[in-house]
Structure 1
């Protein structure tokens, strides 16, 4: 795990479970860029949970942009790889 600490874009109107789901997705994005990457299956599950909280494309783009400005990490690139790779055992790296 990285020693870097990032600030996550969160909405105070979300429930605790929703905040956890969004945070876990952004942690998976961090893992894709740092260390050994993240398994596709894990990333897919975290992205699905994220999309239950943030179903709209516009809000997703806003959160991705805000996370990139805080961390320098591009969530869109990781999600793009997720959609392109079919092997569940694949490791996705940023």
Structure 2
């Protein structure tokens, strides 16, 4: 699937990489599963780039609409699960 990741032209290359990596891990959580620690860590790096809750919600909504995934639920599962791997069902 060819996904247009929500990014800003104002971000540095490193910031774009952090955000794209986070969204790629969300995709992976739905496709094959992802390490819980890796996803939580990527979310924290995403929050370094996008600290605003409203901007986060906007980006999640855009990505979710594009992919059919729920970014919020994947992050919630990663934070709350006891398992080492996060596997989401579409």
User: Shared fold by TM > 0.5?
Assistant: yes
Residue 7 of structure 1 corresponds to which residue in structure 2? 4
TM-score (norm 2): 0.92
Residue 31 of structure 1 corresponds to which residue in structure 2? 28
2:18 equivalent to 1:21: yes
Unaligned residue ranges in structure 2 (runs of 5+):
none
2:70 equivalent to 1:74: yes
Equivalenced residue count is 88
Tell me how far apart the structure 2 counterparts of residues 23 and 83 of structure 1 sit (CA, whole Å). Answer: 20
TM-score (norm 1): 0.88
1:5 Cα deviation from its structure 2 partner: 2.4
Unaligned residue ranges in structure 1 (runs of 5+):
none
CA contact under 8 A between 1:7 and 1:71: conserved in structure 2?
no
SS in 2 for 1:81: helix
Tell me how far apart the structure 2 counterparts of residues 52 and 5 of structure 1 sit (CA, whole Å). Answer: 26
SS in 1 for 2:3: coil
